[in-house]
Structure 1
Amino acid sequence: MTTPRPSQMKLLDNDTAAAWIFLTPALILLGLFIIWPIIYLFYLSFTAGSFTSSGTYWVGIKNYKRLLFNADFWQVIFNTVYFTIATLIPSLVIPLGLSVLLNRAIPMRGILRSAYFLPSIISLVAAGLGFRWLFQDTGPINGLLSMYGIGTISWLSNTFWAMPVIILFSIWKQIGFNMVVFLAGLQAIPLSRYEAAELDGANDWQQFWHITLPGLRPTVIFATITTAIFTLRSFEPVYVMTGGGPLNSTNLLVYYTYQEAFGQFDFGYAAAVATVLLGVTLLLVYWQLRTWGND
C-alpha cells in the first residue's frame, strides 16, 4: 500500500476542514429542528401532566399501555390506514395516466398541464373551505343531484360519506404534484427506446408496460413515498371540514394528536400517539425502499 505523502495528507486535512465548515450550519439546523424535537418527543411520550399546571412527570410506558386499550385510538388507526390506501392508489394511477397523455403533442397541452397542477398550489385551508361549501346540505353538489331526483345527502355529517369526501379532497390536491413528477420522469426516458420498440412492432400498451414503467421506477418510488407521507400527516382537511366527526369516523392520527395535546392538554399521551405515527412513517419508507429500491 502506498503511504500518502505529507503534501497529500495536508491537502486531505484541508478538504476535511473545509467540508466541516460548510456542513456545520446545516448540521446545527438539522439538530435543532429535526433531531432534537424527535428526541424530546420520545422523552415526552414517557411522561404525564401538562405544561399549564404543575408540569410533567415520568410515568414510564403507561401512555403506550393506554394506547393499546383505547378504542378511540384503534378507530383512528383504522381510519388512517383506510384513508392512506384509498388516497394513495388513485393519487398514483390518475397522475401517471395524465402524464403519459400530456407528454404527447396534443392541443392545449400547456394549458391542461397548468390546470391539473393548479390545485396543488392552493392553500389546504382555502381548498378545504371550498370543499365544505360544495358538499354542505344546501351546496352545489346536492343541488346538482336534486336535478336528477336524488334527495339531499348530508355528506359531511354522515358516517359513511364523510371519509370519502376527505379522500376525494386529498386525491384532488395530490394529482397535480404527482403529474409533474411523472412528467419529469418521462422526460428522462430516451426516445430511442420507443423508436426501437416501434420498429419491432410494439403497440402503445407494450411500450408503456416494457419501457415507460421500468423507466419510471425511481419516480414511482419517490411519488409513492411523498404521497404516503402527505396522507399520513393530513390535518387541515379534517380540521376544516369535519373536525374528526361524525362519531370519530374521519379522525386521523395527526388530528387525534392535536386533540389530545391542545384539546385535553395531555401532552404525554399525545406524544405517544405522535411517536407511533413517526414509527409507522419510518417503517413505510423503509419497506418501500427495500421493496422497490433494489434494482
Structure 2
Amino acid sequence: MTNKYKFPQQNLLEDEEIAAWIFLAPALVLLGFFLLGPIAYLFYLSFTTGSFTASGVRWVGLRNYLRLVLDPDFWQVLGNTAYFTTATVISSLVIPLGLAVLLNKSFILRGLLRTAYFIPSITSLVAVGLGFRWLFQTEGPVNALVMFLGFEPISWLASTTWAMPVIILLSSWKQLGFNMVVFLAGLQAIPPNRYEAAELDGANSWQKFWHITLPGLNSTIIFAVVTTAIFTLRSFEQIYVITGGGPLNSTNVLVYYIYEQAFAFFDFGYAAAAATVLLGFTLILVYLRLQTWGEES
C-alpha cells in the first residue's frame, strides 16, 4: 500500500530543488546563449563554404573535413601543435614542481621569491612577446651573450629549428608561476607525519620525494597537466607577435592556423572545421579532468 501523503521534509526538499532551478535559470540561459549557441553555429559552419557576403554560405557536407585530412599544411600544423604542447607541458611541470619543493621550505626571502616567480602569470602575453622578440632578434641581447661566450650568433626567429623553442620558452615561463602555486597548495596538503616517519626509517631526500611527494601530488599533477595543455592549445598571442607562424610554417599552431584561414583567406567553413578539431581535443582534456574528479570523490 502506497503512502498518499508526503512528509514535511520531502516537501521542503522539493521546494529547495525548485528554488535552486529558479536561481540557476538565468545563468543556464546565458551559458546556452553565449557558449552552447556559438558551438552549435561553429559545427554548422564546418559543413558550409563561402563568406559572410551577399553570396552567403553554401552547404558542402563533409568536404571541409576531407580537405583537412588531405591538406599537408594542416598535418604540419598538427605536428607543430603536438610538439609545442608536449614540450610546454613537460617544462611547465618539471620546473615549477622543483621550485615548489624548494619554496615549500622555510628560509629568508621565501615570500619575495614566491611573488617574483608568480609575476609572469599576470603579465600581458603581447608585452612579453614583444620583449622576447627583442631579446632573440639577430642583434639582440641573447646573441650578444652567445658571442661573448665564443659561439656564432643564431638567427633564432628566422630558423625553422630554433623559432619554436623560443615560443616554448616564453609559454613555459608564462605558465611557471601558476603551476608553482598549484604545486605549493598540493605540497601543503600532504601530512608532515609521513615525512617524519620516512626520516625515522632512514629515507633520504630523493626517496621521500619519490615515495611520498609524487604520490601525494597525483591529482595535482593531473590538474596541472590538463590546465597547461588547454592553455597551450589556445596559444595565439605569442605566435602572432613573435613569428607570425613562420619561418616556413614551422611555428604555426592550430589556433593561429584557424585565424589565418578565417580572417586572412576568409574561408570560414574550413576554419570552422579546423576549430571543431581543436574543440574535440579540448573536450578530451576536459573529460580527463572530470574523470579525475570522479575518482577523487
Q: Provide the TM-score with structure 1 as the length reference.
A: 0.95
Deviation readout 1:61-119 (Å, 9 max, x if unpaired): 01001101111101000000011111111110111111011000122111111111111
Gaps of 5+ in 2: none
Letter aligned with residue 160 of structure 2: T
- In 2, the alpha carbon distance for the partners of 1:94 and 1:8 equals 53
- In 1, the alpha carbon distance for the partners of 2:292 and 2:179 equals 20
1:14 matches 2:23: no
Match of 1:249 in 2: 250
- When residues 6 and 222 of structure 1 are mapped into structure 2, their CA distance, relative to the original with a 3 A threshold, is same
- In 2, the alpha carbon distance for the partners of 1:292 and 1:207 equals 26
Offset at residue 175 of structure 1 (A): 0.9
- In 1, the alpha carbon distance for the partners of 2:257 and 2:21 equals 41
- When residues 174 and 287 of structure 1 are mapped into structure 2, their CA distance, relative to the original with a 3 A threshold, is same
- In 2, the alpha carbon distance for the partners of 1:219 and 1:209 equals 15
List aligned pairs for 1:1-295, cutoff 5 A: 3=3, 5-287=6-288, 294=295
Offset at residue 40 of structure 1 (A): 1.0
Q: Does the aligned pair in 1 maintain the 2:134–2:140 contact within 8 Å?
A: yes
Offset at residue 55 of structure 1 (A): 1.3
Most deviating of 138-147 and 122-131: 138-147
- In 1, the alpha carbon distance for the partners of 2:40 and 2:51 equals 19
- Secondary structure (helix, strand or coil) at the match of 1:48 reads strand
Gaps of 5+ in 1: none
Q: Does the aligned pair in 2 maintain the 1:221–1:292 contact within 8 Å?
A: no
Most deviating of 139-148 and 195-204: 195-204
Q: Provide the TM-score with structure 2 as the length reference.
A: 0.94
Deviation readout 1:147-172 (Å, 9 max, x if unpaired): 12322211111111101111111111
- When residues 160 and 25 of structure 1 are mapped into structure 2, their CA distance, relative to the original with a 3 A threshold, is same
Cα RMSD between the aligned structures?
1.9
- In 1, the alpha carbon distance for the partners of 2:6 and 2:24 equals 27
- In 2, the alpha carbon distance for the partners of 1:48 and 1:260 equals 12
Q: Does the aligned pair in 1 maintain the 2:92–2:172 contact within 8 Å?
A: yes
Offset at residue 11 of structure 1 (A): 1.5
Q: Does the aligned pair in 2 maintain the 1:45–1:271 contact within 8 Å?
A: yes
